């Protein structure tokens, strides 16, 4: 894992003290809320329905056990004993006191963490593949590049006041586990004739105007990647709309200019930018990459697993994924127990995961955009012990990528922007499909719920997506089908009139019942949907 | 009726104007009539509340009930964590929201 150098640490420490002074002045009445709000947001501090909320950055979703343990400590000492893992691979604390915020940030800084650029019209936390460094299908480890982008984008003087927030994802495998095509910029690292470079996609996003990104360049060599991204951002910063918040994202600029004209302008800018020396020297890239060297894997380990415990066997099949190193596996910890709150973990559970990461996964954990946790490097021989510990902590739900592995935003239970509650609906759906055999029979089925049009719950990318709306003061839920955030990216299509909470659960069951009727062997829900078409399912829903 | 609500500057807690101060409990809230904006301005200036605003509510025998679900959830707490609401001992408290 990357470790701060003196520059990283001094910048974060200085920011904490700056914010401490700003909070002090706010509490002393020397600053109005109007002046203070943009300052607190730059430090990840929102004011939500019930309290201040602090969003802590988890760069590219990677955490050490020490950092994870700190999150548990903050949850216990300053919050109400839990945290919420988000679709941006971050963590949110829901019950923060303003007067405590500087102390929290100071404690986070001791483990190289912060909340900088988790809000505001700047480049947000870089997201990446949660299996980075462990996946068998990756061309290279994307984390050194994500770290390079983190350093480039942090306090970038030109890009601190962009027209709107800006999200970047970087992956290095054919399987897209980071919803890369639904980001403002998506970077797919790949090799061409043995040379490492990247395919660049621009203009994707969810929110009120969902769009799939356009391929803007089929290959830029890695040694010019930063210059190319700088050019992409410069064109956006110059021409992105600042007069209308709803048309300010880069996807709208791409839509209005057209990808060809945007590409032309970027290439023109790139020709100029690459003469400026922005790209790091080879030695700096090597310095960063060295932090992500593979851990000291043992060789000659057994591949054998004792599957005699049936519950363990189910968990193995559902939540454990192949590792590139023989004798190792990737463990997915579901934060979606039936009846639980998607993405929430108690301080005690956070400690358990930190301990397991330290003991069994070379001190590494990952946060996924699906609001789960990953132990990336576990010896197969240790899987049973890990599963037992997870079971004891209520963390062994064997439902990865099944219908109860629901992405849900905090919704109206916590969020001041929401129009409807997301979490109770997720709980009702999970309860309806509680039977794990039935879930596994349905197979991969990604259900995603957003409580408002801002789409933090990624409903546009759900095989089944649900959007909560306010209908004359009542919560109402719009159902959509056919979305995907993976390499087979697509946007879900709205089925028709919305439902109340119970109605939408019934409608989903009609969809899954129809799927069972019409599927062919081996098909996922999404495959069947694409084969038989929208109308078959619409008819099942509305008759 | 009209209620004045906001968040405590220091803690962020939801607060309700009672007529002579602030309470965390919506049951204590007073009808501010047309005076909401003026009270809000004075109280915000004195740093006794943050981001105050006026809402519609209905008078009931149990006390004021905010007209919009968002403010009812603010008044109670998250419906999915009854233990963290202002009525942790009342398992049916969430039904008041809906």
Q: Is residue A295 part of a domain?
A: no
pTM above 0.90, yes or no: yes
Could A412 and B73 be called an inter-chain contact, meaning their C-beta atoms sit closer than 8 Å?
Answer: yes
Tens-digit pLDDT profile for residues A233-242: 999 999 999 9
Could A412 and B9 be called an inter-chain contact, meaning their C-beta atoms sit closer than 8 Å?
Answer: no
- From the candidates B43, B47, B78, B86, which should be mutated to test the interface with A, based on the most A CB atoms within 10 A? B78
- Reported as a pLDDT band with limits 50, 70 and 90, residue B73 is very high
pLDDT at B40 over 90: yes
pLDDT at B91 over 90: no
Rounded Cα gap, residues A529 and A265, in angstroms: 39
Q: Is residue A522 part of a domain?
A: yes
A61, A371 contact by CB (below 8 A): no
Q: Which residues contact A332 (CB under 8 A, 6 or more apart)?
A: A319, A320, A321, A368, A372, A373, A374, A400
Q: In B, what residues contact A, Cβ < 8 A?
A: 7, 9-14, 44, 47, 50-51, 67-70, 73-74, 77-81, 84
Indicate if A421 and A538 belong to the same structural domain. yes
Indicate if A286 and A209 belong to the same structural domain. yes
CA of A20 vs chain B CAs: smallest distance (Å): 14
Domain termination site, one of A93, A109, A125: A109
- How large is the average pLDDT for residues A16-22? 98
- How large is the average pLDDT for residues A500-508? 97
Expressed as residue numbers, the domain containing A355 is 310-392
Sign for the pseudo-dihedral over CA of A114, A115, A118, A121: negative
Indicate if A31 and A69 belong to the same structural domain. yes
Indicate if A165 and A286 belong to the same structural domain. yes
Indicate if A247 and A157 belong to the same structural domain. yes
Predicted ipTM of the assembly: 0.96
pLDDT value at position A520? 98
Indicate if A155 and A247 belong to the same structural domain. yes
Sign for the pseudo-dihedral over CA of A507, A508, A513, A518: positive
Residue A318 to residues A296, A322, A444: CA-CA distances in angstroms? 27, 11, 10
Could A27 and B14 be called an inter-chain contact, meaning their C-beta atoms sit closer than 8 Å?
Answer: no
**Chain-centroid distance, C-alpha A504:** 26
- How large is the average pLDDT for residues A196-217? 97
CATH number at residue A319: 3.30.70.3340
- How many domains are there within chain A? 4
Domain termination site, one of A392, A424, A441: A392
pLDDT value at position A540? 98
pLDDT value at position A234? 98
Rounded Cα gap, residues A435 and A319, in angstroms: 17
- How large is the average pLDDT for residues A223-230? 98
CATH number at residue A536: 3.30.413.10
Tens-digit pLDDT profile for residues A438-486: 999 999 999 999 999 999 999 999 999 999 999 998 999 999 999 999 9
- How large is the average pLDDT for residues A322-346? 97
**Ordered DSSP codes for A191-244:** EETTEEEEEEEE--B-TTS-BPPEEEEEEEEGGGHHHHHHHHHHHHHHHS-SS-
Domain termination site, one of A361, A392, A423: A392
Residue A11 to residues A5, A17, A114, A119, A253: CA-CA distances in angstroms? 10, 10, 11, 18, 33
Average pLDDT, chain B: 96
Indicate if A411 and A387 belong to the same structural domain. no
Q: Is residue A355 part of a domain?
A: yes
CB-nearest to B13 from A51, A413, A421 is A51
Tens-digit pLDDT profile for residues A354-386: 999 999 999 999 999 999 999 999 999 999 999
Tens-digit pLDDT profile for residues A168-193: 999 999 999 999 999 999 999 999 99
Rounded Cα gap, residues B80 and B65, in angstroms: 20
Joined together, the tokens standing for residue A12 give 């974060």
- How large is the average pLDDT for residues A296-316? 96
3-state secondary structure of B66: strand
Q: Is residue A159 part of a domain?
A: yes
Q: Which of A493, A496, A492 is nearest to A476 (CA)?
A: A496
Domain ranges of chain B: 2-96
Could A33 and B51 be called an inter-chain contact, meaning their C-beta atoms sit closer than 8 Å?
Answer: yes
- How large is the average pLDDT for residues A115-133? 96
pLDDT value at position A26? 97
Helix or strand run (H / E) with residue A151: helix A143-153
Rounded Cα gap, residues A341 and A82, in angstroms: 11
CB-nearest to B9 from A96, A98, A475 is A98
pLDDT value at position A170? 98
Of all residues in chain A, what percent carry a pLDDT higher than 90? 99
Helix or strand run (H / E) with residue A373: strand A373-379
CA of A133 vs chain B CAs: smallest distance (Å): 37
């Amino acid at each position: 894992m990357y470790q701060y150098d003196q520059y990283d640490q001094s910048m974060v420490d200085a920011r904490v003290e700056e914010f401490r002074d700003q909070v002090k002045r706010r509490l002393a009445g020397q600053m109005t809320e109007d002046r203070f709000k943009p300052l607190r947001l730059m430090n990840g501090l929102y004011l939500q329905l019930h309290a201040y909320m602090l969003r802590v950055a988890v760069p590219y979703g990677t955490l050490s056990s020490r950092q994870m343990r700190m999150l548990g400590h903050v949850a216990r000492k300053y919050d109400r004993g839990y945290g919420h893992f988000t679709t941006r691979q971050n963590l949110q604390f829901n019950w923060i006191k303003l007067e405590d915020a500087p102390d929290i940030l100071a404690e986070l800084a001791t483990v190289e963490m912060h909340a900088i650029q988790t809000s505001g019209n700047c480049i947000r936390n870089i997201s990446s593949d949660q299996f980075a460094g462990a996946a068998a299908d990756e061309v290279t480890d994307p984390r050194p590049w994500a770290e390079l982008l983190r350093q480039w984008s942090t306090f970038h003087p030109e890009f601190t006041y962009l027209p709107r927030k800006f999200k970047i994802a970087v992956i290095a495998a054919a399987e897209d586990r980071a919803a890369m095509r639904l980001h403002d910029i998506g970077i797919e690292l790949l090799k061409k004739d043995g040379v490492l470079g990247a395919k660049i996609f621009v203009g994707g996003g969810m929110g009120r105007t969902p769009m799939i990104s356009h391929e803007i360049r089929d290959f830029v060599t890695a040694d010019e990647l930063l210059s190319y991204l700088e050019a992409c951002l410069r064109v956006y910063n110059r021409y992105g709309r600042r007069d209308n918040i709803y048309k300010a994202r880069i996807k709208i600029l791409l839509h209005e200019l057209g990808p060809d004209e945007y590409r032309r302008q970027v290439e023109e800018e790139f020709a100029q930018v690459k003469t400026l020396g922005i790209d790091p020297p080879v030695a700096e890239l090597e310095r960063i990459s060295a932090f992500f060297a593979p851990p000291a894997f043992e060789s000659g380990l057994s591949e054998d697993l004792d599957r005699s415990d049936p519950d363990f066997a189910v968990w193995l099949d559902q939540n454990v994924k192949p590792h590139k190193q023989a004798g190792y596996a990737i463990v997915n910890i579901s934060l979606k127990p039936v009846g639980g709150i998607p993405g929430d973990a108690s301080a005690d559970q956070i400690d358990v995961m930190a301990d397991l990461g330290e003991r069994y996964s070379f001190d590494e954990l990952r946060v996924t955009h699906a609001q789960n946790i990953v132990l990336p490097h576990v010896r197969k021989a240790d899987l049973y012990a890990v599963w037992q510990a997870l079971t004891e902590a209520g963390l062994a739900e064997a439902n990865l990528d099944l219908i109860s592995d629901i992405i849900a935003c905090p919704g109206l239970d916590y969020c001041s922007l929401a129009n409807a509650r997301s979490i109770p609906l997720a709980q009702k759906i999970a309860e309806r499909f509680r039977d794990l055999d039935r879930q596994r029979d349905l197979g991969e089925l990604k259900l995603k719920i957003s409580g408002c049009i801002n789409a933090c719950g990624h409903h546009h990318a759900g095989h089944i997506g649900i959007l909560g709306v306010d209908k004359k003061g009542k919560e109402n839920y719009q159902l959509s089908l056919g979305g995907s955030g993976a390499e087979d990216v697509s946007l879900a299509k709205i089925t028709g009139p919305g439902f109340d909470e119970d109605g939408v659960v019934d409608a989903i069951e009609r969809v899954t019942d129809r799927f069972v009727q019409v599927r062919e062997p081996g098909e996922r829900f999404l495959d069947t949907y694409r084969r038989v078409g929208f109308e078959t399912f619409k008819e099942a829903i509305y008759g | 009726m009209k209620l004045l609500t906001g968040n405590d500057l220091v803690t962020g807690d939801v607060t309700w104007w009672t007529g002579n101060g602030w309470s965390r409990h919506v049951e204590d809230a007073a009808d501010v009539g047309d005076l909401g904006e003026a009270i809000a301005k004075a109280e915000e200036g004195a740093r006794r509340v943050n981001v105050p605003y006026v809402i519609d509510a209905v008078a009931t025998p149990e006390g004021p009930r905010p007209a919009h679900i968002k403010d009812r959830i603010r008044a109670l707490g998250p419906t999915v964590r009854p233990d963290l609401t202002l009525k942790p001992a009342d398992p049916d408290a969430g039904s008041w929201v809906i």
